[in-house]
Structure 1
Amino acid sequence: MAQNDIERPEGTAEDWTIPQDWAAYTPQEHALWDKLFARQAQMLPDRAVAEFMNGLDVLRMTRPGIPDFDELSERLMKLTGWQVVAVPGLVPDRLFFDHLANRRFVAGRFLRTPDQIDYLSEPDIFHDVFGHVPLLANPAFADYMQAYGQGGLRADSLGAIDRLARLYWYTVEFGMIRQDDNLKLYGAGIVSSHGESIYALDDPSPNRLGFDLKRLMRTRYRIDDYQQSYFVIDRFEDLLRQTVETDFAPLYAELDGLPDLDTDTILPTDRVYTRGTQAYAKTKKEEEPQ
């Protein structure tokens, strides 16, 4: 939830946080949350990584109604030292990284409307909390998120935020993992989306490629539709290790001399789990007005 060149909204603190005001949610909003939650919770046990499902349980997110950030943060703090803080919407990049670096996950407090149940352009509380927060109960992933925030602060000083954003997109938002010899979902953008939870694993269209840090950071991504490529990690510990051990400054310099890769590209050096047909993307392109 980061963006540059936006002014701090009136009524927010210096760090752009606001009270969640949990008591203001209506019965209709709680009912919509429950509907969204039930739909995903029913389909994800065989699709999502075990750590995600465990996070739903240990954080007691299976209880009815929109979670109270204070209660959620109290449980998270005991497990991994994280807390969830409300913000009015998108926040500036550097502030976003600073929150992550200090183990604060920023979440929008608004909920989509019933007519947006399958898609909305800006992340809401269901995406942010249902999608992201369960994995913050996992120590390795919690450490990775903090390391990413610290890396973001360095990237900001090096003018390399766009490169690092691709790492967030293809891991935190749309990452996949090998678990028990099967591909599983862990990215928040997938697990909070009914349609993409099916598409990412079952559809023959997308590429599913082995994680490679340099290759991933050269790869463009889709912000308006399902992804054309997904990157697969083996363990959260590997993701954390690469993030902590990599000297990103020379990597950014090296990447500046290399061309970007299209979202559907497969390189000869890629570890390919699925060579996608790209049928979905081709069909959508054909449907676009000429």
Structure 2
Amino acid sequence: MFEEGQLYSPVTQHDDGTVEVHLSDNHPGRNDAAYVGRRGEIAGAAMAWTRGEPIPRIDYTEAEHDIWRTVSAELAPKHEKYAHSEYLTAKRELALPTDHVPQLDEVTERLAPLTGWSYVAAPGLVPLREFYADLGARTFNSTQYLRHGSEPLYTPEPDIIHEVIGHGNQLASPRFARITEAAGQASLRVETDEAMKFVADVFWFSMEFGVMREHGEVKAYGAGILSSYGEMDEFAHMELRALDLADMGTLNYDITQYQPVLFCAESLDELEDVVGGFFETVDDDSAAKLRAEAVTRGLV
């Protein structure tokens, strides 16, 4: 569960070149000077990196590897129970290491032969249009830091576990990867901020927090659910709504809480038709019409 209002902690670089990550007051590592310093070090590596150069490699500590091992072991049975088979198949194909934190170029080496996607380093928040434009080029911006070791099954912000275990496994599926790429390409087509937000909100309720039926059960495919130990225990109890683009693109949500409303596809075919089709065709006019429909229906 993400408890940061803006998801990612702000990052600043001081005049002396040092990088500071501004953790929220309720962050488990806020008063751990060593952790705060480590976060600045890792963010600084991404900030100093220039595209076209080798991705910065992080010399992870044994404690950081242990967090990865713990989360990988705890998520595995949850995935078998709650994840959609398309995600599980992709996860087996990608075969991420479970004994150490993978470098981002290691993730790319495994992912590119499957779907053509690659990973690049980000210090934290990437501007919305920049992030989505990269998705349109099959490139995923990923943080490289790990959550605080005191609470390995909890993170108040997306870390490399979310970015790689959640999204990386998802992107190893050709069908999920195509939908994500289409979302990125949609961002290049829409011009208004309102339309861009509409695209991002549909993405939130699908590729981040989407569920679908399989053999009579509701299964998760969204990266935000499948990278969160707690979210997987909660999603089955949430209000499920049918795929409804007007609703998905305008529903207010609180990223600091478990998502109380989820949109459930009846099948992967329906997800591709409705959500994938939307990303492939949306423009400023069609997004505005969907928003107007939401207003007429009293959704906003």
Q: What is the TM-score of this pair, normalised by structure 2?
A: 0.77
- Is 1:228 the counterpart of 2:243? The answer is no
Match among 224, 227, 230 for residue 189 of structure 1: 224
Task: Give the alignment partner of residue 213 of structure 1, picking from 245, 254, 258.
Answer: 245
Name the CA distance, whole Å, in 2 between partners of 1:129 and 1:20. Answer: 16
1:133-180 Cα shifts (integer Å, max 9, x gaps): 11111111111111000112223x222222122111101111001111
Matches within 5 A, 1:15-26: 19-22=55-58, 24-26=59-61
Helix, strand or coil at the partner of 1:114: coil
1:244 is displaced (CA, Å) by 4.8
The alignment-based identity, stated in percent, is 33
Residues 219-264 of structure 1: per-residue CA shift (max 9 Å, x gap): 11121010110001133343333235544332222244343747xx
1:128 lines up with 2:163 in the alignment? yes
SS of the residue 1:208 aligns to:
strand
Change (3 A) 1:186 1:97: same
Give the unaligned 5+ runs of structure 2.
Answer: 1-5, 14-43
Give the AA of the match of 2:90: G
CA distance in 1, matches of 2:200, 2:11: 18
Q: Which segment drifts farther, 56-65 or 223-232?
A: 56-65
Q: What is the SS of the residue equivalent to 2:158?
A: coil
Q: For the Cα contact (< 8 Å) 1:214–1:251, is it kept in 2? A: no
Partner Cα separation in structure 2 for residue 79 and residue 72 of structure 1: 11
SS class of match (1:58): helix
The gaps in structure 1 that reach 5 residues or longer are 263-290
Q: 1:236 corresponds to which letter in structure 2?
A: L
**2:50 counterpart residue number:** 13
Equivalent residue in structure 2 for 1:41, among 76, 84, 94: 76
Aligned to 2:173: 138
What is the distance in 2 between the residues matched to 1:245 and 1:141?
14
Give the RMSD, CA atoms, in angstroms: 2.6
User: 1:248 & 1:181 partners in 2: Cα distance?
Assistant: 35
CA spacing shift, 1:237–1:107, aligned 2, 3 Å: farther
Letter in 2 for 1:86: A
Partner of 2:142: 107
Letter in 1 for 2:202: L
CA shift, 1:112, in A, is: 0.6
Give the partner amino acid of 1:216: M
Residues 194, 244 of structure 1: CA spacing in aligned structure 2 closer, same or farther, 3 A cutoff? Answer: closer
**1-side partners of 2:230 and 2:7: how far apart?**
24
Question: Residue 158 of structure 1 aligns with which residue?
Answer: 192
Say whether 1:77 aligns with 2:109: no
CA contact (8 A) 2:207 2:223 kept: yes
Q: Deviations over 1:58-78 (max 9, x none)?
A: 112154111232222122111
- The amino acid of 2:192's aligned partner reads L
Amino acid at match of 1:249: D
SS of the residue corresponding to residue 262 of structure 2 reads strand
Q: By how many angstroms is 1:18 displaced?
A: 7.9
**In 1: Cα distance, 2:137 partner to 2:158 partner:** 22
Amino acid corresponding to residue 238 of structure 1 in structure 2: E
Mapped partners of 2:76, 2:97: distance in 1 = 9
Counterpart code for 1:44: H
C-alpha displacement of 1:194: 1.0
CA contact (8 A) 1:166 1:220 kept: no
Match of 2:19 in 1: none
